[in-house]
Chains A and B, each alone.
Chain A
Amino acid sequence: MSAPVPPGLPTGPVQGPTELPVVDTVDVREGPEVAHELLSVLPLLGEWHGEGQAAGAEGDHRFGQWVRFAHDGRDFLTYESRTWRIGEDGRVVGPDQRESGFLRPRDGDEVELLVSSPAGLVEIYVGTARTTTSWELDTDVLARTPDHPDTSRAKRLYGIVDGALLYAVDRAAGDQPLRPTMSARLERIR
């Protein structure tokens, strides 16, 4: 005897593309209505692609990046990011960092960002919209696994300049000052 199928799931083997009964969208023209609470972060909604630089033990290196801020009609954006390392010759070397989380606009211009990465770092940022197209965030809580490099605090800045998404992440170890860790310029692809 087979177990009952929960509502919204296919009753048999999936033949075509799998679709959930609830959708995320990066386009204000389709999918669920945009919650009015998202107004202060709406410029981030979309899929972005570009290149950046990251600090590493062997010096800075180039990376490619894909970022997606989507919504499902509620008062937060989902956040996904994948990067791939680019060699000196411009060729893709392989997967680099990835992280995912949620961007939660709060009252007024306040915003919270929750991010986790498979490298073993979980960060909760709190910050504000500096302008209608830039957001500054500092870690409120940061936790790491034993194998993750020492990280005591972090700062992020996201900004839209000339239609491109620019961001920078600074991180500090122990009592050390914040140091630039990652930055990139991403163009909107959707």
Chain B
Amino acid sequence: MTGMGLVSAWVLITLTGLAALGFAASAWRATRSDRRPERTR
């Protein structure tokens, strides 16, 4: 964020929300890849 100028609370709310979604998406992908071998058996 440094160098991007002043940021409002609403921008940060969006950013942290996206970060949380990104984490959730990573976890979801990991879960999917863990399950894949079982499905191909």
Check A130/B7 contact, CB under 8 A, given A51-B2, A166-B1, A185-B1.
no
Is the Cβ of B2 less than 8 Å from the Cβ of A131? no
With known contacts A60-B5, A178-B9, A184-B1, A157–B19 Cβ distance under 8 A: no
CB of A157 within 8 A of CB of B2, answer no
Identify B15's interface contact among A159, A170, A180, A182, CB under 8 A.
Answer: A159
How long is the Cα–Cα vector from A51 to B4 in the complex, in angstroms?
11
Complex contact A180–B19 (CB within 8 A):
no
Q: Between A and B, how many residue pairs show CB distances below 8 Å?
A: 77
Q: How many residues of A are in contact with the other chain, CB < 8 A? A: 33
Please report the total number of B residues contacting A with Cβ < 8 Å: 16
Is B26 among interface residues, defined by CB-CB distance under 8 A? no
Question: CA A156 – CA B12 in complex, angstroms?
Answer: 10
B8 interfacial contact with A, CB 8 Å: yes
Contact B9 A131 (CB under 8 A): no
- Among B8, B11, B12, B20, residue most surrounded by chain A Cβ atoms (within 10 Å): B12
| A170–B7 alpha-carbon span in the complex (Å) | 9
- B residues 5-39 touching A (CB-CB < 8 Å): 5-13, 15-17, 19-20
The answer, yes or no, to whether A152 is at the interface (CB within 8 Å) is: no
Contact B5 A161 (CB under 8 A): no
- Can you add 4 more A-B contacts, CB < 8 Å, to A131-B17, A168-B12? A157-B16, A159-B16, A161-B19, A170-B10
